[in-house]
Chain A
Amino acid sequence: MIPSEQIPPSDPAATTEQAANHKSAGHSRRVFLFKLSLLVNGAVGAVMAVPILGYLLGPAVKKTASDNSWINLGPLSDFPEGETRLVNYRNPVTTRWDGQTGDIPCWVRRVSGSTFQVFAINCAHLGCPVRWFAQSELFLCPCHGGAYYANGARASGPPERGLFEYDHKIDGGNLMISAGRMPTLANQARMEPPLTQIEVSGSTARLAGVEQPKPRCSSCPT
């Protein structure tokens, strides 16, 4: 190796053939070294990719359950029976620069006594904020017109399921909910039967309810 490098300066009068030989020998050595360097850089890149990918995908790798924690929504006396109220809570997982985005609203329905339903604000269609209308006992979504009944069941419009519900419990006279993540179809939908079942069973039940009494009534003496 070292002699071959030293030959050209020490022997300037070398024949062209010799020079070509030396050059090609050096060339193949340098090609090998270049390929080796590519390999080394590839290895370095692979090593670098691990932390970069881990950093980028970090939010997705975290366990879902770790984000949820029990949040106190207030004493039971805040929630009159038979009413549905908007309650705001501070999300348990926040950064100091989240500002107002860390305050999350939810709909609390006290059916009776200790029977509660706590609905997410996000429409099950595309996440817009649903509003409760006490007079018509409906939740309406301003975006695409999804409508839900008082118990959160789908009433009409594009949602394929009812409102998302938070797990809740009563602890020391306070209503607690398990929250922390934005509810979406990916983390809440699996508990519910798929749309086709809702649609089919719903419509057949409705048909049964509508059509069975009709012939009875028309044939019955008035």
Chain B
Amino acid sequence: MPDLKQRCIAVYDWFEQRLGLGAPMIEAAEHEVPSNTSSWWYVFGSAATVILVLQVMTGIMLALVYAPTASNAWNSLQFLDHNVRLGWFLRAIHGWGSDFMVAIVLIHMAQVFVFGAYKFPRELTWIIGVCLLLMTLGMAFTGQVLRFDQDAYWGLGIGASILSRVPLIGGALVDVMLGGPIIAGPTLSRFFALHVFVIPGLLLTLVGLHVWMVLRLGINDWPMPGRLVKKSTYVREYHELTQKTGIPFVPDAAWKDAIFAAAVMLAVIACALWFGPFGPTGQPDPTLIQTAPKPDFAFLWIYAVLAYLPPSIETPVMFIAPVLGIGGLLLLPLLSPEGEKHWSRRPVAVLMITVIAVTLGAFTRLGMYTPWSPIMNAWTSDPIPVAYLHDRTPLEREGAIVLQNKQCRNCHSIGGEGGLRGPTLDAIASRMTEDQIIRQVLQGGGNMPSYGNALSPSETDALVHFLETLRGNNLAPAIDASRHMVLTSEPNTPPPTGH
């Protein structure tokens, strides 16, 4: 045994003499960090790196089978899911890994922001981190495109339509993005190159720089209220802190990173086993238009924002907001490189992160059930509740048929079924008078198309009579007070003739 051990050491020494990497790596691993950085809050960066490695490895394995051509990509994913042993599992891990990576990168960023870790001397670490976030999102989007299904196809259409709104060069940008006049083979090849070569190359390079700077500048010490960052004294103070309380990163601090990374990997594996791979949804055949395209989880909030922006300001917001947002993130450490780090003395920072998190969460939630989208088959699949047809006149029941036939249900729900784009109709007659309903149906307005051309007078009559019966739990019908006055006062004072 000692003989074997000695031989191993000899082999190591042989390589070490030629490579010279072992000693500096061990030194880097064992470098001293302030003991207060050994915290469960400091584990997200290393977890993101571990998931990146997982993504690279599973990505390479998927590329062994995936056929990056428009005519075969979808079929090759089906083949992976059903014909390749454990192909579905690798796809699931790669897909869930991407969601976890986006989430952990965002959590890492929020933690760094709340802990003031972007301040001097770690400004560039933060700036490169912002680039890493953008690239992670870029990987998520291009990866969704490689899952070349209906969502991917129409997602590319959305991307091209957004680009086409860029003033002056919009058309050229669309051509460069698509690689041709339509979304087709060259488009997929482009996104394959981006997803597999361009972005990963940049991503790994920048991750290397990011980690290098963490090693060089030291892990951010735990913020203390009142301990201000000053460019003139910070490095010396950090040095003193490290000397006073330093512990070797490996193993004294790194065990938490390792445990958390393992937990995250287990979570990815569990999700992959439990939920399986993402899609692919329908074939990327644009002639199959019976589809409601939706982006992946990380982009649902953008999908929601694009639904709610008023048309008149949509294009400016689309291009100015990202510039301001990303520019703000990049400039943040340059604008406030000094001062307080502790969250209890940075109320604006805490408020900002809260507002951003709540906003993203709310829009993502909305993106999950898309209340703005018409439900295309509601008119044929959701019946009128029987209760609404009891004790109704033939004309009113005819109106219910008109309501169904004219696809009103696609945007309006009744009895909890149907679209959410327009108001629910269960109690419509308690909110609108007969005249108001007629006007709204025929002329539209307030985001409702006008049905004047699509309804005959008798259909309108029947529809309005049916709607007049919808008063919730027998609420009082809406009345036009002035009409009442006119009707009761008419006999006494005849209206003036002429104008």
Contacts and interface: CB of A to CB of B under 8 A. Distances in A.
A185 B454 contact: no
A116 B449 CA distance: 23
A143 B444 contact: no
A206 B307 CA distance: 24
B72 interface: yes
B78 interface: no
Given A155-B450, A182-B157, A100 B499 contact: no
A2 interface: no
A218 B490 CA distance: 12
A101 B311 CA distance: 29
Contacts of A206: 443, 445
A219 B376 contact: no
Interface in B424-449: 439, 443-445, 447-449
Contacts of B444: 155-156
Nearest to A180: B181
B153 A101 contact: yes
Interface string B179-221: 1111111110000000000000000000000000000000000
A76 B447 CA distance: 36
Contacts of A140: 374, 376, 407, 410
Interface residues of A, number: 68
Contact of A128 (B172, B283, B293, B494): B293
A57 B176 contact: yes
B178 A59 contact: yes
Contacts of B488: none
A144 interface: yes
Interface stretch (B97-105, B130-138, B159-167, B350-358): B159-167
A86 B289 contact: yes
B240 interface: no
A170 B293 CA distance: 34
A195 B174 contact: no
A137 B406 CA distance: 9
Contacts of A199: 311-312
Contacts of B179: 59
A86 B282 CA distance: 19
B182 A101 contact: yes
B314 interface: yes
Nearest to B309: A158
Contacts of B166: 186
B336 interface: no
A171 interface: no
Chain B, interface size category, equals 35 or more
B286 interface: yes
Interface stretch (A7-15, A16-24, A43-51, A90-98): A90-98
Contact of B283 (A86, A100, A156, A196): A100
SS class of chain B's interface: helix, strand, loop or mixed? Answer: loop
B287 interface: yes
Interface string A128-146: 1111010111101011110
B454 A138 contact: yes
Contact of A101 (B70, B312, B374): B70
Interface stretch (A28-36, A77-85, A119-127): A119-127
B71 A129 contact: no
A115 interface: no
Contacts of A5: none
A138 B289 contact: no
Interface in A58-77: 59-60, 62, 64, 67
B2 interface: no
A101 B449 contact: no
A158 B306 contact: yes
Contacts of B290: 131
A26 interface: no
B185 to A, nearest CB: 4
Contacts of B407: 133, 135-136, 138, 140
Contact of A157 (B153, B283, B447): B447
B495 interface: yes
A187 B187 CA distance: 18
Contacts of A159: 311
B154 A127 contact: yes
Given A128-B157, A143-B293, A97 B69 contact: yes
A121 B71 contact: no
A120 B369 CA distance: 27
A178 to B, nearest CB: 12
B314 A100 contact: no
A147 to B, nearest CB: 5
A167 interface: no
A122 B311 contact: no
B449 A147 contact: yes
Given A60-B173, A126-B158, A136-B406, A145 B182 contact: no
Contacts of B161: 122, 125-127, 184-185
A36 B165 CA distance: 45
A87 to B, nearest CB: 10
A163 interface: no
A145 B181 contact: no
A182 B182 contact: yes
A119 to B, nearest CB: 12
A157 B133 CA distance: 32
B299 interface: no
B157 A219 contact: no
Nearest to A207: B445
Given A156-B449, A182-B160, A219 B311 contact: no
B292 A102 contact: no
B34 interface: no
Interface of A: 56-57, 59-60, 62, 64, 67, 86, 88, 91, 93-95, 97-105, 121-122, 125-131, 133, 135-138, 140, 142-145, 147, 149-150, 155-160, 180-182, 184-187, 195-196, 199, 206, 209-210, 216, 218-221
17 contacts: A57-B172, A97-B71, A98-B70, A101-B153, A101-B285, A105-B286, A125-B306, A126-B157, A126-B158, A128-B154, A128-B293, A129-B286, A135-B379, A142-B374, A182-B157, A186-B174, A219-B499
